[in-house]
Amino acid sequence: MPENGSENQTENWNTALRYIAGRKAAEESLGFLAHISTTIQQTTQLKEVLPAVAKACVPFLASAVSLGSLAMHSQLVVQSPTEFSTALEGVRGLVGDNAGQRLVISEHEGLVKQTDPDHLNLLHQWKVDSAVGLPLIYRGLRGGHIFLLRGHGHRRGPISPSDLALISEVADRVAAFNAFVTQLAGPDDL
């Protein structure tokens, strides 16, 4: 039987702690996604759905959020402390007018290859660690964008691949809501 030295024990404990942390993060993400789904379903006024989603995203998922949905609001729905206003506006500007463009800027090792180094330098100038911009598309219907920023010191760190998957799920739910409003409710019903 091999000796169970202190180095091996430390490695075993580190592995166990990483496993527990991963499980906890996955459970938090699933709980958050359930919360977003419930928020969309149970918000009684259609015009209040996007502000409720934006409010739920900050601070758990992001430091600042911007949701653009022409189906519901003529202006952007923003949930952000004032210190992130410039960064949020700048990230929206990076996407520009191309409604189908996806933007990922993160120094996380799992996303750094998808990140333009010039964009990352801009984020650092704006005192932001990472940002994501995703189009809200559901079954071919385009309905705006969702932008999320994480500032320095956010409890979840820079946006990771698992965070990107969670953000994509939130975007899908908002896009489905937008499609519902666009297809089933007439403009006079809003």
Q: Are 87 and 123 in contact (CB under 8 A)?
A: yes
Q: Which pTM value belongs to this model? A: 0.85
Q: Are 131 and 167 in contact (CB under 8 A)?
A: no
* pLDDT in the model for residue 130: 96
- What average pLDDT score do residues 21-32 get? 87
* pLDDT in the model for residue 8: 85
* pLDDT in the model for residue 180: 86
Residue 42: pLDDT over 50: yes
* pLDDT in the model for residue 149: 96
Residue 150: pLDDT over 50: yes
In tens, the pLDDT along 80-138 reads 999 999 999 999 998 875 556 899 999 999 999 989 999 999 999 999 999 999 999 99
* Sheet containing strand 77-79, strands side by side: 77-79, 64-68, 141-151, 128-138, 103-105
CA distances from 112 to 109, 150, 161 (A): 5, 15, 10
* pLDDT in the model for residue 121: 95
The Cα 81–Cα 92 span in angstroms is 16
- What average pLDDT score do residues 147-152 get? 95
